[in-house]
Structure 1
Amino acid sequence: MLNDSFIFCLEGVPDVDTYITTEVLKNLEHLAFEHKIASIYKSCDTIEGLEESLGALLYDDHNFKDYRIIYLVMPGQENNICLHDYYYSLEEIAELFEGKLKGKIVHFANKKILDLSADEAQYFLDITGARAISGYGAKWNKVSSIHLDKFFFNLCDELDDLVEIVEELHQKNYALCKYLDFRLYY
């Protein structure tokens, strides 16, 4: 990616003690081999696991500044995520990571709908310091967002301007963007 930056992926799973190779992990490996986009993958099954994983990234990984995208693959609804049958609002997530995501793009796979009001999106961005938050208005039914996610990540590798990234994404993948209802708040 630009300046050797990376993707940090955190996937919500039913049980972290049961190892499975998910579709997400396979596709991140593909990104690394085919497009030279490096990533770190972790799974979590609780909010504490989410906080611990992001905390370790923030405080223990000296390359954190190089992570441009925080990729969250978690079930949930419009403005919350679900881990271990508990729902956490994006406002709660924002407060957990207050000021810690400066300049990052927080991207959600379509395992959850991302449907934020302008105020909710601005609150998340202001509290976390994130550059943008993106995801989809259509939930994972029979079509996973992983292929559009990969294209989005490639564009983030090639381009720096968010508007240009979204325009290019729609230009090259219009039908899929419309079907999954790609959204980016910045």
Structure 2
Amino acid sequence: MENEKFIFCLEAIPDIDSSNTTEVVKVLEDMAVRQGIASIYKACDTIESLEESLNILLYEDHNFKDYEIIYLIMPGEANTILLNDYYYSIEEIAELFEGKMKGKVIHFGNKKILDLTDEESQYFLDVTGARAISGYGSKLSEISSTSTIDRIFFSLYQENDDLTEVVEMMFQKHFSLCKLLDFRLYY
């Protein structure tokens, strides 16, 4: 597929030296087999390992332009991520990604709430260069967005570059789930 959009997934885990396979890895592997969506997965347990993974992708992977979705599976409170017992604000994340995400969609799984004001979302987009940021306004631990609505979002985005149309289709076809998790797109 010529216009395929790859996913670069960064998941926060307690210890990157553990050899446990997470639900996220299983879902990404299944998406590759069943839906033909290619991805790269990296685990991180500190802000340094997050930054290192991003730098390897940016500066050593010659296919970086093909990775249109940066998929972040990280716990945290509203508009923060939690790594190694420290909370990083959305502004700190933006500064970490400064100028490096041109044209990318930054998508947060529902392990944290994404509830940005217009000013916060515009700051994030301006600083990172990202095309859009998306996530969920509800953090329901009993429902994983990774195995449900994220798959749908990624699949629809493979077929259609217009993010507003993708979100409209998601709400038309999966209204209850989108509403329950409070899917959000800032662009």
State TM-score, norm by structure 2: 0.97
Please give the secondary structure, in 2, of the residue aligned with 1:76.
coil
- 1:16 and 2:19 matched: no
Aligned-pair distance for 1:53?
0.3
Aligned to 2:173: 172
For 1:108 and 1:93, the matched residues in 2 are separated by 12
Q: CA RMSD in A?
A: 0.9
- 1:99 and 2:63 matched: no
Aligned-pair distance for 1:9?
0.3
Aligned-pair distance for 1:2?
6.0
For 1:83 and 1:3, the matched residues in 2 are separated by 34
Residue ranges of structure 2 left out of the alignment (5+ in a row): none
Aligned to 1:142: 142
Please give the secondary structure, in 2, of the residue aligned with 1:33.
helix
Letter in 1 for 2:5: S
For 1:137 and 1:38, the matched residues in 2 are separated by 27
Contact 1:112 1:140 in 2 (8 A): no
Letter in 1 for 2:172: Q
- 1:43 and 2:43 matched: yes
**Given the superposition, is the C-alpha separation of residues 88 and 179 from structure 1 closer, same or farther in structure 2, using an over 3 Å criterion?**
same
State TM-score, norm by structure 1: 0.98
- 1:129 and 2:133 matched: no
Aligned residues: 186
For 1:2 and 1:84, the matched residues in 2 are separated by 39
Moved over 4 A (4+): none
